[in-house]
Amino acid sequence: MIPALFVAFAAVLLVSSLFVILNRSPVTSALSLVLAFCALAGIYLLLRAEFIGLVQVVVYAGAIMVLFLFVIMYLNLGRDIESGITIVVRRGLGWLLGAVLVAEGAWLLARGWAPGPGGPSAAAPGAGNTQQVGALLYTRYLFPFEITSLLLLVAMVGVIVIARGRRGPAAPPVAPAPGVSAGSAPARTTGGTAAVTPEEKP
């Protein structure tokens, strides 16, 4: 049962990934990517990584892809124009290099290999996956976890500064929108679209 489900999810993942890079319309690419992420979340669930699977759906298929779709619609992109001899040559070279990469991977997998020795599981065996990951995250990986929060803060501030656009020195600085604390995604969008809000006008 589980191998059959895995094959089904893997087929969906591969086909939708190919759709991402083959489709000319960026919106269709983004929606195919959502499908690929959901199939990957299913594979994570089959591998008994429930926390990662659900975070995959929430963060990737939810937040990140909403950001992608918002930018595609904000820029009002149509279908890509891909014609001309240089583009055809580059496409052929790209597929050739991809085939070389796949051949290298197949060669590596075909040689004799085995995973190294596994460490003993740190958490209690009766606890759920989320509980185990959380315990590990807040004990052994506490310092990287805090660094990650710092990284997110820096990214948030940087995105607001970048997406606000160029402005004359006389213009008053725009106060960050109230959605800043909800994460970097709404902060970016509010910072990106705030050209001149009505209350700024004299």
Partner 1 sequence: MIPLAWLLTLSGLVFAIGVVGVLVRRNALVIFMSIELMLNAANLAFVAFARELHSLDGQVFVFFVMTVAAAEVAVGLAIIVNLFRLRETVFVDEINLLKG
Residues 149-168 that bind partner 1 (CB under 8 A): 151-152, 154-156, 158-159, 162-163, 165
- Residue owning tokens 């759709």: 19
Tokens matching residue 121: 């599981």
- Residue owning tokens 């290298």: 104
Cα Rg of the chain (Å, integer): 22
136 binds partner 1 (CB under 8 A): yes
47 binds partner 1 (CB under 8 A): yes
Tokens matching residue 190: 């509010």
102 binds partner 1 (CB under 8 A): yes
Residues 52-81, interacting with partner 1 (CB under 8 A) = 52, 55-56, 59-60, 63-64, 67-68, 71-72, 74-75, 77, 80
Least Cβ distance, residue 118 to partner 1 (angstroms): 3
144 binds partner 1 (CB under 8 A): yes
128 binds partner 1 (CB under 8 A): no
Query: Which of 8, 73, 95, 167 touches partner 1 (CB under 8 A)?
Result: 95
Tokens matching residue 202: 């004299």
Task: State how far the Cα of 152 lies from the Cα of 1, in Å rounded to an integer.
Answer: 40
Please report the DSSP string for 160-183 in residue order: HHHHT----TTSPPPPPPGGGGG-
Q: Which amino acid is at 87?
A: I
Task: State how far the Cα of 178 lies from the Cα of 176, in Å rounded to an integer.
Answer: 6
196 binds partner 1 (CB under 8 A): no
Query: Which of 1, 111, 112, 119 touches partner 1 (CB under 8 A)?
Result: 119
31 binds partner 1 (CB under 8 A): no
